[in-house]
Structure 1
Amino acid sequence: MTASFPASFCAIDFGTSNSAIAIPAGAGRMRLVELEPGQLTMPTAVFYFAEGRHDADGPPRAFGRAAIAAYVEGTDGRLMRSMKSILGSGLIEQTTDVGGGRGAKYFDILAGYLKRLRQSALAAGAAAPLNKAVLGRPVFFVDGEPERDAAAQRSLEAAARAVGFEEVHFQFEPIAAAFDYESQIDSERIVLVADIGGGTSDFSVVRVGPERMQRLDRRDDILANHGVHIAGTDFDRHIELAGILREFGYRSFGPERAGAPAREVPSGIYFDLATWHLINTVYSPARVAELRQMKSFYGNPLHHQRLMTVLEERLGHELAGRAEAAKIAVSGGGDTVIDLAAVETGLQIALGERVAVEALDGDIGRIVAAGRETVAQAGLRPEQIDALYFTGGSTGLRLLAERIAADYPRAAQVRGDRFASVATGLGLHAARLFAR
């Protein structure tokens, strides 16, 4: 490999929940770009403001954490997330309402986000014109439908070309995630990559080794791939329901009436409060008025009072954030205290690991089963797995990692960067590809 990079290139991890971009750092190295202050990853989110003037790029927008903040604050507009899921669907060429009587094609929304990543790389010192890129892709954009899967990659490539990338290559995300481990071993290994993020838990059985490192086409090294749509956001929801919302009336009962047994308080409001993208729906005047009239449904008036405080002061995302923080606090074992003074002075809720374990047990069981299924699809036995490679933000949950590892007692456990393994691996691939 040459000591410098004459070409202008980058590597992009366009993720369902978060994205990152790597650029050359000289001497054969790559570095991740700081996309937001102090952050090497940025939420894959765009917020279209209902008000404001168009510019050359279209309606006024915010990206990443600023986009999420605008949505949480109740700004009039439209939040777009999980844009990756649009690939391979008929939606990609359709136009959607983004507020203020404006419309935007899904393709343009996706391309606009990629353009923001490219602009960030150029601002961080990438060499102009930055016209070559490696993009990550899942093993399957669309399961079991090869034509739609191929269409998804074509759409992503077209979006990349539309924002200035003239040469576009792809690498499989699980292979990219395993590159770091591959560079450290001296013989061929079979690795189960567990990539567990915010929305999905994906498993891949991959073959890695020093003799394979320089191969640009690694498709044959992916022996199996499988996943489930259960991950970090589901964990947060269950923690909020079990550890926080019981103090707001979830699973509580109303008063006995005329000798009839007490009835459970309706739970729909709590499920919506614990589901991130539904939280803003509970603030509608009609729904707040309806719930205000339900005080008599509650056996404990304090529960209803706290619930109304959350609705009237729009504290739903505050509770969701506290649930996520509590999950992280107990992820390594032990207990934590959730401070809810924003709702009620002095209100604190203790969350123990046992409660968290019980709340997450069902989800973790399904994730572990997905790992077993992946190994079976590869035609292998658990003892034939040489290493487990953990990546993705949710692999920091100790219980989850332990439950997965228990099925593969002979496998070495390797932890990559939970948030940037794929982007780092894609950067390594880009350097090999473009610095030849």
Structure 2
Amino acid sequence: MTETIGLDFGTSNTVAVSATGTGGTVPVSFADGAEAFTSLPTVLSFLDRSPARGPHPEVGPWAIRQFLESYGDVRFIQSLKSFAASAAFKGTGIYGSRFEFEDLMATFLKCAFERAGSAFDPASVRLVVGRPVEFAGHSPDEALAMSRYRAAFEKLGFRDILFVMEPVGAAFSYAQSLEQDTTILVADLGGGTTDYSLMRFETNAGHLSATPLGRGGIGIAGDTFDYRIIDNVVLPKLGKGSSYKSMGKVLEIPPNFFSNFARWHMLSIFKTSDDFKEMKKLLRYCLDPEKIELFIDLVEEDQGYPLYKSVSETKARLSCEDGAELTFAPLGKDFRAEVSRQDFERWIAPDLKKMDKALDATLEKSGLAEKHIDRVFMTGGTSFVPAVRRQFAERFGEERISGGNELTSVANGLALIGAREDAGDWALAA
């Protein structure tokens, strides 16, 4: 039987699961010293080496360590998936080597499988890849994203490649525990996107089948929530809302400078942009120069990941506490900001409304109402946010909400689908 791997290439984390051939699955595991984990941070770094050897890539925690220990000689890339559907992203130069999106994606996956110690021939493996219902970004180009995905996997030598909607993978994983025919709404709430999928699962003579009823989504999820904390707590310390003098007038510093910084996966691009050069020119005219100096220092010192880590940890604590303290030494050794869950929920309220409207549209297109949904399965890291869970519970009733294996359910379902004889029926058309 062909070996099958389910791959959930996520904005924040990547998970791979292998089907055993006996109806079970085994997560691909990574070991970093004594620590073992199945969810690999989707970060990629390149260490500058001699031109003859080219840049040395690393992934996950090894990339983070390489970045922190090799100051000034490392190119650090995160939220790579956010660029997949962007026609504006034309590739990037890294220490004399040119990398298109598919090169970056292939490099990340190659290093990931090597770090996992996976020994398989890509040409003999069926790879079932999850894709979001809606790609993240402004005016995402779905066809471009899928062509880039295919090119990346072909570079790695995979030939048998199936693409399945991420929430369909999660739904299939959850459906293994169903004891009766059920209509399911899957809400896959990740880092970059929120995806909805409506499916009817039925069992006939022990054979599980599914009928897709509708799908939808929006490019809002955990990364957007992180941005709200940065926008309200961090950016004022970096000069957002401050002014500069020009030709006798007092003008506000362009807000787009700060939005570029807040979206940390754009930091490396912003660092070499005309906007950043303009920001440095404005410094001498700023009314709060110490804040802008701090802004410039954080960009030049590549503090995007440390900031991301601090903000994400704060957000995670707000899932179980009424308040959490955000500390970030580069903002000053005495910098401490108390973030209350109440404030956080107020900041993300407009995003929650947009997510809810996207669900309205999904239900409307499918011709279904809340009463027709038997179970709601929530998956992805953002499903832990209390305000998100509460919104679903208020709409569908707590008794219909299910969860579990939030970080691995998509990849697990993809692997199970790939092991089926009718796997092609679950996949998207090529």
TM-score, scaled relative to structure 2:
0.78
Distance in 2 (alpha carbons) for counterparts of 1:151 and 1:304: 37
What is the RMSD of the two structures over their aligned residues, measured on CA atoms? 4.1
CA offset at residue 224 of structure 1? 1.0
Code of the residue aligned with 2:29 in structure 1: it is E
- Where do 1:333-344 residues align within 5 Å? 333-344=321-332
- Where do 1:160-179 residues align within 5 Å? 160-179=153-172
- Where do 1:19-418 residues align within 5 Å? 19-24=14-19, 28-35=23-30, 37=32, 38-49=36-47, 51-52=49-50, 60-67=56-63, 73-75=71-73, 77=75, 79=77, 81-83=79-81, 86=84, 96-120=91-115, 123-124=117-118, 131-138=124-131, 156=149, 159-211=152-204, 214=207, 218=210, 221-251=211-241, 267-280=255-268, 281=270, 286=277, 289-290=280-281, 292-295=283-286, 297-298=287-288, 307=295, 310=298, 315-409=303-397, 412-418=400-406
Structure 1 residues 84 and 223: alpha-carbon distance in aligned structure 2, compared to 1, 3 A threshold: farther
Code of the residue aligned with 2:284 in structure 1: it is Q
CA offset at residue 192 of structure 1? 1.1
Listed one character per residue, the Cα deviations across residues 188-236 of structure 1 (whole Å, up to 9, x for unaligned) are 11111111111111111111244498458x5xx2211111111111111
CA offset at residue 65 of structure 1? 4.2
- Contact 1:21 1:33 (8 Å CA) reproduced: yes
Residue range with higher mean Cα deviation, 75-84 or 335-344 = 75-84
Structure 1 residues 328 and 162: alpha-carbon distance in aligned structure 2, compared to 1, 3 A threshold: same
- Contact 1:139 1:225 (8 Å CA) reproduced: no
- Contact 1:12 1:21 (8 Å CA) reproduced: yes
Identity, % of aligned positions: 24
Structure 1 residues 303 and 102: alpha-carbon distance in aligned structure 2, compared to 1, 3 A threshold: closer
- Contact 1:53 1:60 (8 Å CA) reproduced: no
Distance in 1 (alpha carbons) for counterparts of 2:123 and 2:363: 39
Q: Secondary structure at the match of 1:406?
A: helix
- Contact 2:184 2:375 (8 Å CA) reproduced: yes
- Contact 2:45 2:74 (8 Å CA) reproduced: no
- Contact 1:78 1:99 (8 Å CA) reproduced: no
Q: Secondary structure at the match of 1:199?
A: coil
Q: Secondary structure at the match of 1:208?
A: strand
Instruction: Give the number of aligned pairs.
Output: 409
Structure 1 residues 293 and 33: alpha-carbon distance in aligned structure 2, compared to 1, 3 A threshold: same
Listed one character per residue, the Cα deviations across residues 36-59 of structure 1 (whole Å, up to 9, x for unaligned) are 53331224444445543566xx85
Residue range with higher mean Cα deviation, 229-238 or 66-75 = 66-75
Distance in 1 (alpha carbons) for counterparts of 2:376 and 2:422: 30
Structure 1 residues 62 and 384: alpha-carbon distance in aligned structure 2, compared to 1, 3 A threshold: same
Task: Name the structure 2 match of 1:425.
Answer: 413
Listed one character per residue, the Cα deviations across residues 85-140 of structure 1 (whole Å, up to 9, x for unaligned) are 647x889xx9844333322454444444443444455x25x666882223123375
CA offset at residue 16 of structure 1? 4.3
CA offset at residue 174 of structure 1? 1.7
Listed one character per residue, the Cα deviations across residues 302-324 of structure 1 (whole Å, up to 9, x for unaligned) are 75676566467654543333222
Residue range with higher mean Cα deviation, 40-49 or 234-243 = 40-49
Structure 1 residues 117 and 211: alpha-carbon distance in aligned structure 2, compared to 1, 3 A threshold: farther
Code of the residue aligned with 2:412 in structure 1: it is T
Listed one character per residue, the Cα deviations across residues 319-360 of structure 1 (whole Å, up to 9, x for unaligned) are 333222211111235011122344323321111112111211
Distance in 2 (alpha carbons) for counterparts of 1:345 and 1:328: 23
TM-score, scaled relative to structure 1:
0.77
**Which structure's residues are more often strand, by fraction?**
2
- Contact 1:43 1:65 (8 Å CA) reproduced: yes
Structure 1 residues 12 and 52: alpha-carbon distance in aligned structure 2, compared to 1, 3 A threshold: farther
Code of the residue aligned with 1:335 in structure 2: it is G
CA offset at residue 179 of structure 1? 2.3
Code of the residue aligned with 1:187 in structure 2: it is Q
CA offset at residue 361 of structure 1? 1.0
Listed one character per residue, the Cα deviations across residues 235-260 of structure 1 (whole Å, up to 9, x for unaligned) are 111111213333444346899xx9x9
In structure 2, stretches of 5+ residues that fail to align are 424-430
Code of the residue aligned with 1:21 in structure 2: it is A
Q: Rg: which structure is higher? A: 1
- Contact 2:322 2:340 (8 Å CA) reproduced: yes
Q: Secondary structure at the match of 2:395?
A: coil
Q: Secondary structure at the match of 1:428?
A: helix
